[in-house]
Amino acid sequence: MRPTPLVTQMENSEVIDGQDGLDRQDGQDGEHAEVPKLPSAELKAILEALIFASPEPLTPKAIYKLLDSEPKEDVQAALAELKRDYDRPGGLQLVEVAGGYQIVTRPDLHEWVRRLFHERTTQRLTQQGLETLAVIAYRQPITSLEIAEVRGVSTASGVLNTLLERHLVKIVGRKQVVGRPFLYATTKEFLIRFGLNEISDLPKVEDMAEALGLDAPILVERMPSEDQLPLNEE
């Protein structure tokens, strides 16, 4: 971060007449000297660097906080211009994920990227895991017994444990019935992993059901509502 005129003044001058200079920098006419705004190109470059370096999607709230010295409308304009830059064909794209922004590789290039990291097939979810995750996503919050009823087969505890360990699902409470079984729902990590900005961005249930061999009407019997999904994880 480059030093502002106020910081430069503090570093190069001493306290005079009891004034410490912390509140303002006076100009020749005694008025407050404004800190110059960043050029739009530099502001856009800073935004790009912040989004790229962030380990998780960078939300607008976090962006405005980091750039609180800049007018909000200037930040919004720079962000809009950055989006336009990434509309061009290339290996990277700027996407909105889980309520924030990320710079990611294009989906059609994932196989090439996997070669770099030597991803093992054992790291991928099994068919049973994908089916269970799909049921949770479309029917959340849901119990393990209800998951088994939708899939038509019992859901092994190991499958749910795997989804929990990978932070794709979480326990959000207990159902108020006999035995008070755990209720499962998807997480912010689920949105990030599958490139979704919010749960309503899920593919059409018919397409998901056809891909996994599930019954579409059963999947949509109870779609999740926003108040059921505590996805705003700090």
- Please state whether 73 falls in left (phi above 0), alpha (psi between -120 and 50) or beta: alpha
DSSP for 185-197, written as a single string? EE-HHHHHHTT-S
Q: Are 178 and 161 in contact (CB under 8 A)?
A: no
Task: Provide the pLDDT for residue 50.
Answer: 95
Residues of the chain scoring pLDDT < 70: 1-35, 117-123, 155-156, 211-234
**Position of tokens 């209800």?**
146
Q: Write down how long the chain is.
A: 234
| Structure-block tokens of residue 140 | 């959340």
**Locus of tokens 């106020």:** 6
- Which of 114, 102, 97, 118 lies closest to 189, judged by CA? 97
* 173 three-class SS: strand
C-alpha to C-alpha distances, 19 to 65, 83, 166, nearest whole angstrom: 29, 45, 56
Reported pTM: 0.55
Q: What's the pLDDT score for residue 206?
A: 77
What pLDDT sits at residue 216? 59
- What are the backbone dihedrals phi and psi of residue 5, each rounded to the nearest 5 degrees, phi first? -55, -35
The residue type found at 219 is L
Domains delineated in the chain: 40-109 (1.10.10.10), 125-228 (1.10.10.10)
Percent of the chain with pLDDT over 90: 30
The pair of three-digit structure tokens given for residue 21, joined into one six-digit string: 């200079």
User: How far is it, in rounded angstroms, from Cα 169 to Cα 48?
Assistant: 30
Tell me which residue of 99, 40, 105, 46 sits closest to 74, measured CA to CA: 40
Backbone Cα Rg of the chain: 25
The amino acid present at 162, given as its one-letter code, is: T
